[in-house]
Amino acid sequence: MSIPAPADILFWFFAAAAVGGAAYAVTSAHLIRSILAFGAFLTAVAGEYYLLAAEFVALVQIFVYVGGVLVLMLFALMLSTPGESQPSSLGRWSPAVGVTAVGVGAAIMIAAWHTPLPVVKEPAAGRLDHLGQALLGDHVVVFELVGVLLFAAVVTALVAVRGERR
């Protein structure tokens, strides 16, 4: 037996943290703890991206999800009382929701398992310019459409807030 490479140890560490965090996030009845576990999951996934030599994606994951989405979620849920736990509001729909979730998850796993993924010998690390050119070249229409969508969302949010005041 050879000593496992640090990358392998880290891979399994991040994988365990991601699965554990995700499992805790959906099973905990405690909202804030569940969000913090979600944060652990997001960070662990960022670690996996880094191990795949996708440093840029890893950092964007941390920047957008941990620094943005997670903080926003915490901000909103901090307005709930600590220790407050609520039963699931799904009620009689919960079996249907469970079946759908398991079905979609299984479908994704089967699809991923059967898709022949190209093995890249040399990771394209350091080729950020390729990403930029792809976004503003081949996929420029989609890129701009996403921008329009986000802009519409911001304007809608503003209108909704203004509307309440009157």
In the complex, which residues of this chain contact another protein (CB under 8 A)? 3-6, 32-33, 36, 39, 43, 55-56, 59-60, 62-63, 66-68, 70-72, 74-75, 78, 82, 125-126, 128
Contact 42, 66 (CB under 8 A): yes
Picking from 47, 92, 91, the residue whose alpha carbon sits closest to that of residue 65 is 47
Nearer to another protein, 15 or 56 (CB): 56
Task: Count CA atoms within 13 Å of residue 117 on its CB side.
Answer: 7
3-state secondary structure of 88: coil
Residue 45: CB minimum distance to another protein, A: 14
Least Å distance, CB 78 to another protein, is 6
For another protein, give the closer residue by CB, 68 or 98. Answer: 68
Q: Kindly tell me which of 84 and 138 has the beta carbon lying closer to another protein.
A: 84
Under 8 Å CB-to-CB from 13, ≥6 apart: which residues? 47
Is the separation of the CB atoms in 53 and 123 below 8 Å?
A: yes
Q: What is the closest distance, in whole angstroms, from the C-beta atom of residue 61 to another protein in the complex?
A: 9
Nearest approach, Cβ of 145 to another protein (angstroms)?
A: 22
Instruction: CB nearer to another protein: give 75 or 113.
Output: 75
- The three-state secondary structure class of 151 is helix
